[in-house]
């Protein structure tokens, strides 16, 4: 299951999120769009995912994952093909808003992460990190390949190649997916002595939406996620535009994306080694501070070696995703993982959309990303402080929900 997840992440995220920056210049030139207008495409993708995620998460916790993933793979391939062939901005916007984000949720960050959370209890952090190495590897190998296709054959042909690859590779892989046998999640390993005493996970039926909304822990984690993920996505999206504005070629800018992917790969390897040994809130706080450092480096110079350093820092911080997913599964139980993540994603999507629009407006109005990087540095530090407070909020949540098994503290 880990190998299937890794390969799917390579394709899904390598072709979409990791390579979106490659399309900003050629697409904006063809359609006469501003940078802020181009960022609307990613905003629509995030908003579409946010609107669909509660329903997709509910389905993930209640219906066969194999069926959801197979349908999603077909939808992703179809959406990419339409984007490659369409000459209508309205049709493009519809594809980016509805079928593409819904299918990415079903085959990727909700469906696949729920599958890993259910298959692994004692080594959940390691399994999440190893599977999400696919995101990092995709960020290393896919952008240069797409950049070459864009420069030699055009951006439209590159999307058609991506559509064929998704359908031809993922459908046979997803056909191999199977549900795990029922597992007892009441005795996850305590790890080393820096962890708090491990308490039992909630098991059985998924948590009701109303119960989740009444948990202070949910809102604390959600706010930290909104701040960190919006900064992460928006700063990463700006790597290529910042580089090209500094006079760097498209291929050299794509190399920065590969370096960010290499940083995420290294981060995931480290998470796989320590993710089940150290309190996950502490790991997340450290990654948020690295994210702040990356933005601070971008703020203080545009020399290529500084761009390299900042890209690697953003890449390292990108390894927050598997830690966060394991963190959520620990706190709320794997049977409620899809529902909780689905409820969080609309807010994180709106926050990311706002941050992306903000970044585009800052450049269009000032001709520079400096104000954006200043704001992002402060927001990343705030996210680190928030996630650290989740330990206190977790203890309160456990006391306030005595009827069932307490939420796991690690």
CATH number of the domain bearing residue 267: 1.20.1250.20
Distances (CA, A) of 385 to 37, 284, 295: 33, 10, 17
Average pLDDT over residues 127-140: 78
pLDDT score of 375 more than 80: yes
Is position 232 within any domain?
Answer: yes
Q: pTM above the 0.75 mark?
A: no
Tally of CB atoms within 10 A around 43: 22
pLDDT score of 302 more than 70: yes
Average pLDDT over residues 109-128: 79
pLDDT score of 348 more than 70: yes
Is position 186 within any domain?
Answer: yes
Residue 115 CA to residue 120 CA, distance in Å, equals 9
Cβ contacts of 390 within 8 Å, gap of 6 or more? 217, 220, 221, 224, 281
Helix (H, G, I), strand (E, B) or coil at 349: helix
Nearest to 119 by CA among 178, 69, 206: 178
Is position 174 within any domain?
Answer: yes
| 92's tokens | 């493009």
Is position 407 within any domain?
Answer: no
Share of the chain above pLDDT 70, in %: 89
Q: What is the pLDDT of residue 376?
A: 92
Pick from 214-223, 331-340, 380-389: least confident: 331-340
- Residue 32 gets the label, from left (phi > 0), alpha (psi -120 to 50) or beta, of left
Residue 130 CA to residue 6 CA, distance in Å, equals 7
pLDDT score of 384 more than 80: yes
Please give the tally of structural domains in the chain. Answer: 1
E strand or H helix that includes residue 3 = helix 2-15
Residue 328 CA to residue 322 CA, distance in Å, equals 10
Average pLDDT over residues 309-315: 88
Is position 70 within any domain?
Answer: yes
Residue 320 CA to residue 325 CA, distance in Å, equals 9
Domain that includes residue 35, residue range: 2-400
E strand or H helix that includes residue 163 = helix 155-174
Contact 222, 350 (CB under 8 A): no
Torsion of CA 155, 159, 160, 163, to 10 degrees: 170
Is position 41 within any domain?
Answer: yes
Is position 72 within any domain?
Answer: yes
Q: Which range is most confident: 32-41, 181-190, 290-299? A: 290-299
pLDDT score of 190 more than 80: no
| 24's tokens | 């900003």
pLDDT score of 52 more than 70: yes
User: What number of H helices and E strands is found in the chain?
Assistant: 19, 0
Average pLDDT over residues 369-378: 88
Q: What is the pLDDT of residue 378?
A: 92
Q: What is the pLDDT of residue 394?
A: 58
Pick from 55-69, 177-191, 342-356, 376-390: least confident: 177-191
309 compared with 274, residue with greater pLDDT? 309
Contact 198, 188 (CB under 8 A): yes
Q: Which range is most confident: 205-219, 286-300, 340-354? A: 286-300
Which position has the token pair 């191999």? 176
Is position 405 within any domain?
Answer: no
Residue 17 CA to residue 240 CA, distance in Å, equals 13
Share of the chain above pLDDT 90, in %: 12
Per-residue pLDDT band for 269 (boundaries 50, 70, 90) equals confident
């Amino acid at each position: 299951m880990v190998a299937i997840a890794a390969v799917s992440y390579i394709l899904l995220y390598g072709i979409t999120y990791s390579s979106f920056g490659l399309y900003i210049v050629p697409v904006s030139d063809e359609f006469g769009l501003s940078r802020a207008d181009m960022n609307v495409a990613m905003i629509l993708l995030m908003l579409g995912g946010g609107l669909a995620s509660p329903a997709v998460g509910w389905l993930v916790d209640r219906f066969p994952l194999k069926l959801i993933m197979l349908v999603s793979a077909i939808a992703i391939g179809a959406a990419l093909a339409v984007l490659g062939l369409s000459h209508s901005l309205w049709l493009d916007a519809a594809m980016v808003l509805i079928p593409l984000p819904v299918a990415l949720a079903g085959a990727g960050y909700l469906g696949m992460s729920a599958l890993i959370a259910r298959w692994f209890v004692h080594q959940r952090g390691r399994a999440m990190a190893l599977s999400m190495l696919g995101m990092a590897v995709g960020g290393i190998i896919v952008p240069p390949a797409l950049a070459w296709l864009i420069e030699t054959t055009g951006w439209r042909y590159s999307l058609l190649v991506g559509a064929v690859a998704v359908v031809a590779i993922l459908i046979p892989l997803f056909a191999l997916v199977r549900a795990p046998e029922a597992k007892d999640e009441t005795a996850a390993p305590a790890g080393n002595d820096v962890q708090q005493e491990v308490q039992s996970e909630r098991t059985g039926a998924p948590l009701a939406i109303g119960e989740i909304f009444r948990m202070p822990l949910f809102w604390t984690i959600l706010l930290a996620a909104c701040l960190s993920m919006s900064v992460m996505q928006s700063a990463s999206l700006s790597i290529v535009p910042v580089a090209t504005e500094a006079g760097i070629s498209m291929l050299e800018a794509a190399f920065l994306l590969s370096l960010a992917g290499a940083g995420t790969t290294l981060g995931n390897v480290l998470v796989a080694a320590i993710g089940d040994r150290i309190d996950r809130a502490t790991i997340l706080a450290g990654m948020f501070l690295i994210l702040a450092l990356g933005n601070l480096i971008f703020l203080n110079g545009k020399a290529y070696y500084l761009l390299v350093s900042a890209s690697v820092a953003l890449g390292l911080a990108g390894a927050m995703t598997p830690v966060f997913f394991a963190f959520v599964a620990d706190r709320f139980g794997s049977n409620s993982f899809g529902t909780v993540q689905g409820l969080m994603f609309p807010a994180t999507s709106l926050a990311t959309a706002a941050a992306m629009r903000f970044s585009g407006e800052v450049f269009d109005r000032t001709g520079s990303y400096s104000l954006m990087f200043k704001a992002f540095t402060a927001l990343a530090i705030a996210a680190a402080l928030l996630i650290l407070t989740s330990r206190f909020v977790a203890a309160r949540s456990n006391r306030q929900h005595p009827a069932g098994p307490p939420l796991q503290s690690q």
